Structure 1
Amino acid sequence: MPHSQPTLILVHEPVKACFDRLVAEGYPTERATEISSYLAQSTDLAPEFGELAAACGKRGLAFMAAELDDAATVLAKADPRATLVWTLTDGVAYFRGGASPALARLNGLRTIGADDSLFALCQDKFRSGAVLAALGLPVPAVGLARNGAWLVEPPASAAGWFVKPNRLGAKIGIWADSRITELGHALELSRRVFAGYRDDVVVQPYVAGRNVRASFLGLKPETGVEALGIAFVDSGGDFQTMADSMALYGDTGQAARDAGIYAEPELEPVAASQPAADRAIRAIAQKLTAGVGLKDVFSVDFRVEADDTVHLIEFEVCPGLPCFDFRDYCRRQWGMSLADAMAETAANRLLR
């Protein structure tokens, strides 16, 4: 039987599909809008599917974008000898992208990125934090609360605490009062989060410092942590709220661009001002790739203090590819547009 044409299949969960499902499950429209906004990279990348197809075509690949609800059918028909699956979003709670690498494995298809077990782990901050702590990595200890009651009490903290949903989004607090000085307020926030988002909250000691994003794309299979792009991400605030996040991506971000009020956070290479912190982050990333199995494409979030103390906040197996920071990384590290970098990565896996 002849081989099919080598094909990259990009599986993505559209915002509307998630929104409609959440509303059907009884979420208020405003909450469903906020939750589904985390899938905005599907919205932001869709206009570039033609560019991606052209970049793949130049390298001898076919390209197919498959919506998550169609993935079971599409992947069941794919040729295992000539197919590579790239999943654009994770998710086992509000989002369902974690089903994609599992379906790929079920059908004997190769994938870009971590195995499906990490898609589940990374979205649960409490469980992933426990794993990272067991590896000896510098993660803040956390407590866990559900609807006003402690499941695990947080450690004492002279600097106060930070409260965030356990399974939603990345490192943000939902509201501007997510940094707290009284644990009673953490329980109040947990009631708010449970009422609006049906989620627990993690409560971690507040750690000072600047926000850092480490981005990685293994353009070639042998690429190591030397290819990490490590940058301070300065948005003008100590942490990101839900409103801040929504202003950057998807339809809300596009509206801000149209109105001329869109402002991307500033990126500054950590090595330029704190080379010791840059080295520490690369060592942590090396331990992550070995201990957890991160590979191919991922991002890691940190807080870095002025004395080079590094706090690991969390990792993502599906970084926001069309986001400003990952595009900047592709340009700086690989000298390529996002489409070319993705196509080159796929070609190096399928053809070489």
Structure 2
Amino acid sequence: MPRSNPKLILVHEPEKACFDRLVADGHAPDRAAEISSYLAQSTDLAPDFDSLAVACDKRGLAFVPVELDAAANALAGADPNVTLVWTLTDGIAYFRGGAAPALARLNGLRTIGADDSLFALCQDKFRCGAVLGALGLPAPQAGLARRGEWLVEPPPSPAGWFVKPNRLGAKIGIWPDSRVSDLGHVLELSRRVFSHYRDDVVVQPYVAGSNVRASFLGLKPETGVEALGIFFVDSGGDFQTMADSMALYGETGQAAKDAGTYAEPELEPVGSSQPAADRKIRAIAQKLISGLGLRDVFSVDFRVEADDTVHLIEFEVCPGLPCFDFRDYCRRQWGLSLADAMAETAANRLFG
């Protein structure tokens, strides 16, 4: 049997497919729209598919975008010798992208990114925090509440607490009152989150500082933490809410661009003003690579204080590739557009 042509399969879960499934499962349409908006990178990357096809073709491979619901059949028929699978979306609860790397492994296919166990872990913030703590990393301790009841009480915190859904996306807040000064209001928020999203809440001591995003793309297999792009992300607020997120990405973000009201947060290199914090973040990333198994493509969110204290908030195995910050990272670190950076990464894995 002749060998198939080399190809990169990009598995993605569309917002609409997720929205329809959530509504069918009984979620209110407004809530389903909010939840599915976390898949906006599938919407935002679609206009790049033609550029990705050209960039891949220049490097001797085909580009094949596959919607998640078609992934089982597409991956079952792929040639393991010449196929690489890149999963764009994760998820074990509202989103189901975590199934794609598992399907790739089932079919003996090589993948870009972490293995499927981390796709599951990163979407459960409470369990993830426990693992990060066991690795000795500076992640805030957490409590866990469900529908107004404590499952695990949070540690004391003179600065108050921060409340976020346990399994919903990767944002660090939903509403402006996600920073809380009394535990009674925490339980009220847990009731609100359960009512809106059917989720528990993680309750962490509030940590001060500026928001920092560290982005990584291993363009070559031997790429290390020297290639991290570490930037302050200043959106003008203390933390990002659901409304802030929806204003940046997907259909809402595009509408803002069309109306001339779209404004990206400012990005400033951490190393320019706080080199000690930059070094700490690279050391943490190395521990995540060696101790946890992050590889190929990921992002990590931090809070960095003025005295260079670094707090690890969470990591992503499926960073927002078409987002402004990752495109900026590809230009600064690799001198490439997003499409060329993705195609070069895939070619190096298949032919390197």
Q: TM-score range by the shorter chain?
A: over 0.9
SS across alignment from 1:64: strand
Shift of 1:124: 0.4
Question: Which residue pairs with 2:249 in the alignment?
Answer: 249
Opposite residue 260 of structure 2, the aligned amino acid is: G
Q: 1:2 Cα deviation (Å)?
A: 2.7
**Could you tell me which residue of structure 2 aligns to residue 221 of structure 1?**
221
Deviations 1:85-126 (A, max 9, x none): 000000000000000000000000000000000000001000
Within 1, Cα distance between the matches of 2:192 and 2:132? 28
Post-superposition Cα deviations, 1:148-207, rounded to whole Å, max 9, x if no partner, equal 000000000000000000001113211000001000000000000000000000000000
Equivalent residue number for residue 169 of structure 1? 169
Counterpart for residue 101 of structure 2 = 101
C-alpha distance in 2 between matches for 1:265 and 1:11? 28
Letter in 2 for 1:191: R
Q: State the alpha-carbon separation in 2 of the partners of residues 176 and 115 from structure 1.
A: 35
Superposed CA deviations along residues 243-281 of structure 1, whole A, max 9, x for unmatched, are: 000000000000000110000000000000000000000
Cα distance in 1, alignment partners of residues 306 and 350 from structure 2: 43
- For 2:298, the equivalent position in structure 1 comes to 298
CA contact (8 A) 1:175 1:241 kept: yes
Instruction: Identify the residue that residue 287 of structure 1 maps to in structure 2.
Output: 287
How many residues of Structure 1 are paired with residues of Structure 2 in the alignment? 352
Distance in 2 (alpha carbons) for counterparts of 1:56 and 1:252: 30
Residue 351 of structure 1 deviates from its aligned partner by 1.1
| Residue 47 in structure 1 maps to residue 47 in structure 2 | yes
Query: Does structure 2 conserve the Cα–Cα contact (< 8 Å) formed by 1:172 and 1:242?
Result: no
State how far apart, in whole Å, the 2-side matches of 1:315 and 1:177 are: 23
**How far apart in 2 are the matches of 1:128 and 1:3?**
41
- 5+ residue gaps, structure 1, are none
The aligned counterpart of 1:232 is 232
Does the CA contact (< 8 Å) of 1:171 and 1:314 recur in 2? no
- Would you say the 8 A contact 2:171–2:241 is kept in 1? no
Separation in 2, partners of 1:171, 1:251: 18
AA aligned opposite 2:191 = R
TM-score by length of 1: 1.00
The CA RMSD over aligned residues, in Å, is 0.5
Following TM superposition, where does structure 1 have runs of at least 4 consecutive aligned residues deviating by more than 2 angstroms? none
Partner in structure 1 of residue 152 of structure 2: 152
The within-5 A match list for 1:302-341 is: 302-341=302-341
Matched, 1:204 2:204: yes
Contact 1:9–1:85 (CA under 8 A) maintained in structure 2:
yes
Q: Distance in 2 between matches of 1:173 and 1:314?
A: 13
Counterpart in the other structure of 2:142:
142
Q: Could you say what secondary structure the match of 1:303 adopts?
A: strand
- Quote the residue 1:92 is aligned against: 92
SS of corresponding position for 1:177: helix
Residue 74 (structure 1) aligns with:
74
The one-letter code matched in structure 1 to 2:71 is: A
Output the CA distance in 1 between the equivalents of 2:210 and 2:173.
16
Aligned to 1:18: 18
Return the alpha-carbon distance in structure 1 between the equivalents of residues 272 and 292 of structure 2: 29
Equivalence for 1:276:
276
Distance 1:202 1:41 in 2: 25
Alpha-carbon contact 1:163-1:179 (below 8 Å) kept: yes
1:190 matched residue in structure 2: 190
- Alignment partners' CA distance in 2, 1:130 and 1:276: 26
Which residue does 1:124 correspond to in 2? 124
What secondary structure is seen at the aligned counterpart in 2 of 1:247? helix
In structure 1, give the amino acid aligned to 2:88.
L
Partner of 1:258: 258
Question: What displacement does 1:4 show?
Answer: 1.0
